[in-house]
Structure 1
Amino acid sequence: MHLEKLSFGVGDRFAHQAAAQLRAFEQASELGVDIVPVWNKSNREHQFVGSNPQSVRTAAQHAVEERGWKKSWYVDADHIQLSTVDPFLDCSDFFTIDVADFIGTPVAKDQIDQFVDAHGELIGELRLPGTQTCYKVDRDFVTRVARQYLGACKAAGEIYRYIANAKGEDHFIAEVSMDETDSPQMPAELMVILAALADEKIRLQTIAPKFTGRFNKGVDYVGQIDHFEREFNEDLAVISEAVRRYGLPENLKLSVHSGSDKFSIYPVIRKAIKDKGVGIHLKTAGTTWLEELIGLSEAGGDGLELAKEIYAYSLEHLDELCSPYASVIDIDCSALPSVEEVTQWDGPHLAATLRHIPDDPRFNANVRQLLHVAFKVAAQSGDRYLDLLKANREIVGEQVTRNLLERHMKPLFIG
């Protein structure tokens, strides 16, 4: 399998919005930009809502048939490890191999020395094509990076080979993810990491590093835009050079995780990939679930009532819900409105509080982040939530489609 130039990962927590999501890809195509949909859902998310990996493919397949989609599409086993991959093997063709937990894993000194000895090309001046950057890299630097990341790369190789043995190397797309960690991987470090992944014989088609700055769930990027722009362009140059050096797949591209709603850096990404003629993979994750809540709020009646109940429960269980996502959310609890206040809101007010339009004075990024990680609260309501999605399919679907096209695809790929 050969992943296309522009691909876009979409989450669908409750497997009801695949057709609405696909409409956004259709409309982007009508505007002259072909983007490949990749439906993604992690093992953790399946556990939270009580679903199974096959449900993602089933929903996507149904949408593809319903809409008559004739182009490529994929299903991503998102953030899998060796302990969680088995249920995804039959129903996924894109595997995000998450080795963030293995960063810093001790590796024998002789293995590190062997790696450094085998890669003398890493030592010296690292000139990045298309940039003004030149890194001075010495043996100590390569050794230090290997000590930090070699264990993670070896774990990626082990997981990759396990998948390849089960499916065959030609039947899936491999991504390696190192983004859910505290420290970013700088461009010179990324070159060392790519050398190590190449040693593992991974047919790597996308890599998701940790970038500088905060990539919180469902809200805008927090950091220095000019710093991100320089780093992103240098990472693109590193990938180009690594492909040349190590024979990695020519379509290898950057993957931006927690990329949803990073409005301030979308112009930077768009310019960089356009100038260099390269692609990108971006994941929007749980924004679809938030658009469902927005649609139910707009619908009023029982939908609005349930949305308010979900907020009330989430506020009461804030620590429990936020703990698994602590590294990718920043919530100012003092800025969260009380349950009593929210109870008085009408549907458009609650919808506007959640809808990510930064200039709207009603928008509250803290409420949005809290509800972003509260999807399992909806799952606890059982059929009630799903029945409301069905009853309000049109208005909910409209929010989903518009969000993907207007707030993500156009700024990223169309301008």
Structure 2
Amino acid sequence: MQLEKLTFGVGDRFAHQAAAQLRAFQQAADSGVDVVPVWNKSNREHQFVGSEPASVKAAAQVAVNDLGWSKSWYVDADHIQRSTVDPYLNCSDFFTIDVADFIGNAIDEEAITRFVDAHGELIGELNLPGMQAAYSVDREFVTRVARQYLGACQAAGDIYRYIADAKGEDNFIAEVSMDETDSPQTPPELMVILAALADQKIRLQTIAPKFTGRFNKGVDYVGDVQQFDREFNEDLAVIAEAIRRYQLPENLKLSVHSGSDKFSIYPVIREAIQNKNIGIHVKTAGTTWLEELIGLSEAGGDGLELAKEIYAYSLGHIDELCSPYASVIDIDPSALPSVDEVNGWDGPKLASTLRHIPHDPQFNPNVRQLLHVAFKVAAKAGDRYLDLLKANEAIVGEQVTQNLFDRHMKPLFIG
């Protein structure tokens, strides 16, 4: 199983928007660009809303059948570890192996020495096409990086082999994720990591490092875009070299996690992949849930009323809702409107506050981030929320499709 060049992760918290999402991929194809959908939902999200992993594939399959989609599509076991992978084995063909929890774990010093001794090619000057300047890499540096990441790479190998034993090595896509950690990986660190993953015999098709800057949920990139540009292009150079050195899969590509709504870096990504004629995996997710809220707000009536109730509850339980996502949100509580103020808004006002159009004076990124992590509040509403999605399917679906195609796929892949 070989992952295609351009792949784009989409999440669907409540399994109602797969068709609306797929229409965006159809629009991209009509525009001359083939982008492959990868439906994803993490174990944490399943637990929050009370769903099962198989529901993701089931919803996607219905959409594929109903819309006559004849091209590739995948279902991602998102951010899995050994303890959580079993329920995904029969319903997923893309596995994001998350080893961030193993970064920095103690590892036998003899294993580190064996790794460094076996990889003398890592020591010296790292100066590849596409790099602005050379990096000087000595044995001490490689040892330090191995001490930090070798345990995580070994954990990735253990999980990979477990999946391969269950499914067969030819029957799934493997991604390794190291993005949910405190410190970004530099290009020379990425080279050491790729050498260690190659030692584990992982058929690695995408790698998700942590980049410099903040990738907060559902809002734009926060950081130095020029620095990201340099880092992104140098990581691409490292991957190309690692493929050559370590016989990693030729289609190995970068994966950008929490990639939704990172509008300011989309031109950087598009220019890099077009100039180099290479692929990318961009993982977005929760914006679909926000588009549902936007659609319900626009619909007015009971939909608007429930959206306001969800905001009121979220504001009253902000710490509880935000604590699991503390590393990927940045909310200024003083910029959140009061419940009374929001209760006085009409549907278009609430929709404009949530819809991510950065230059719209009504857009409030703090409200958007708070409601981004509040999807389990809608889950508590149960059938009331789901029935409103069904009753307002057309307007909600329009928001979902427009958001994915106009604000994501076009700037990323078309321009």
| TM-score, normalised via structure 1 length | 1.00
Equivalent residue runs for 1:182-331 within 5 Å: 182-331=182-331
Residues 49-70 of structure 1, C-alpha deviation per residue, up to 9 Å, x if partnerless? Answer: 0000000000000000000000
CA deviations over 1:158-182 (Å, ceiling 9, x no partner): 0000000000000000000000111
SS at match of 2:112: helix
Amino acid at match of 1:79: H
Task: Specify the alignment match of 1:393 in structure 2.
Answer: 393
Q: Given that residues 25 and 37 in structure 2 are in contact (C-alpha distance below 8 angstroms), is that contact kept between their aligned partners in structure 1? A: yes
Q: Could you tell me the percent identity over the aligned residues?
A: 82
SS across alignment from 2:106: coil
Q: 8 Å contact 1:129–1:241 — kept in the other structure?
A: no
Match of 1:377?
A: 377
Distance (whole Å) between structure 2 residues aligned to residue 132 and residue 396 of structure 1:
45
- How far residue 131 of structure 1 moved from its aligned partner, in angstroms, is 2.9
- Secondary structure at the counterpart of residue 384 of structure 1: helix
Distance in 1 of aligned mates of 2:348 and 2:129: 50
Name the SS for the 1:174 alignment partner. strand
- CA-to-partner distance for each residue in 1:43-92, whole Å, 9 max, x for gaps? 00000000000000000000000000000000000000000000000000
C-alpha distance in structure 1 between counterparts of 2:78 and 2:67, whole Å = 25
Instruction: Give, as a single letter, the amino acid of the residue that structure 1 aligns with 2:291.
Output: E
Gaps of 5+ in 2: none
Q: 1: distance between equivalents of 2:365 and 2:378?
A: 20
* Corresponding residue of 2:89: 89
Runs of 4+ in 1 over 4 A off after TM superposition: none
Aligned amino acid, residue 400 of structure 1:
V
| Cα distance between partner residues in 1 of 2:132 and 2:324 | 40
Distance 2:179 2:315 in 1: 28
Give distance in 2, aligned partners of 1:286 and 1:86: 24
Matched residue SS, 2:51: coil
The Cα of 1:285 is off from its aligned counterpart by 1.1
Deviations 1:139-175 (A, max 9, x none): 0000000000000000000000000000000000000
Alignment of 1:46 with 2:46, yes or no, is: yes
For 1:81, give the aligned amino acid. Q
Aligned to 1:370, the other structure's residue is in SS state helix
Aligned residues: 415
Q: CA deviation at 1:133?
A: 2.7
1:207 aligned counterpart, secondary structure: strand
The answer for unaligned runs of 5 or more in structure 1 is none
State the partner residue of 1:58: 58
8 Å CA contact 1:25, 1:36 repeated in 2: yes
The answer to whether the 8 A contact 2:335-2:366 is kept is yes
SS of the residue 2:309 aligns to? helix
* 1:140-151 correspondence runs (5 A): 140-151=140-151
CA distance in 1, matches of 2:277, 2:186: 22
Tell me the distance in 2 between the aligned counterparts of 1:128 and 1:179: 24
| TM-score normalized with structure 2 length | 1.00
Question: 1:372 offset after TM fit, Å?
Answer: 0.4
Name the amino acid aligned to 2:164: A
CA distance in 2 between partners of 1:332 and 1:299 (Å): 28
Report the RMSD for the aligned CA atoms in angstroms.
Answer: 0.5
Question: 2:402 and 2:283 mapped to 1: Cα distance?
Answer: 16
Counterpart for residue 113 of structure 1: 113
Output the amino acid matched with 1:60: A
Task: Kindly provide the CA deviation profile for residues 352-408 of structure 1, in whole angstroms up to 9, marking residues without a partner as x.
Answer: 000000111110000000000000000000100000000000000000000000000
Q: 1:127: how far off?
A: 1.4
- Residues 1:73 and 2:73 are matched in the alignment: yes
* Letter of the 1:396 counterpart: V
